[in-house]
């Protein structure tokens, strides 16, 4: 039933729980005799940095401390976010690769996307549609914690409202 599962991660505890749940789901499906290998795509979406309306003043480089232009600063921020995302995804993949029972019950794939003007949830949904995902498993609240007063985070809420495939929210 679920051959391709997308799990957006951001380093938060709810995202880790969602990934745990997706791995356990894949193991359960495999244990029931599924002949198909289940692909779990661990997805990290880097939000576009806002163009900071009217703020074109020079900034200090994160790496060197030198004064650099605002566009150079934005580029440096994206490179830093991408580098951190790669480290996070590799660590997740390494940890979960050891969970395989038969060595063939699931495949882990890492993906990093930049939102490019879209919301994070729209980027996740577009990716899921492109991949023809069967399920999105997502934590209820991410690192931003914007919606902590509500029962669901803004990204998970949006995915459940807009996704064309089923979405499972892990609390």
At 167 the pLDDT is 97
Instruction: Say which residue, 158 or 52, is predicted with more confidence.
Output: 158
Residue 96: predicted pLDDT: 81
CATH class for the domain made up of 4-49+92-170:
alpha beta
Model confidence, pTM: 0.85
What does the mean pLDDT of the chain come to? 85
Region 87-106: mean pLDDT is 77
Average pLDDT over residues 82-94: 92
C-beta separation of 30 from 38 below 8 A: yes
Element spanning 23, H or E? helix 13-31
């Amino acid at each position: 039933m679920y051959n391709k599962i997308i799990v957006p991660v951001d380093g938060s505890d709810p995202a880790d729980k969602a990934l745990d749940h997706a791995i356990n789901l894949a193991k359960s499906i495999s244990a029931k005799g599924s002949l198909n290998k289940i692909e779990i795509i661990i997805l990290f979406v880097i939000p576009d940095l806002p163009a900071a309306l009217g703020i074109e003043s020079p900034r200090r480089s994160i790496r060197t401390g030198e004064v650099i232009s605002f566009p150079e600063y934005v580029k440096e921020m994206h490179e830093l976010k991408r580098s951190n995302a790669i480290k996070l995804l590799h660590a997740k993949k390494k940890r979960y690769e050891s969970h395989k029972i038969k060595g063939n019950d699931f495949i882990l794939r890492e993906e990093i996307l930049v939102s490019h003007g879209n919301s994070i949830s729209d980027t996740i949904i577009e990716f899921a549609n492109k991949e023809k995902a069967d399920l999105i498993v997502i934590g209820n609240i991410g690192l931003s914690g914007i919606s902590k007063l509500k029962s669901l985070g803004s990204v998970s809420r949006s995915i459940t409202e807009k996704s064309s495939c089923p979405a499972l929210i892990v609390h």
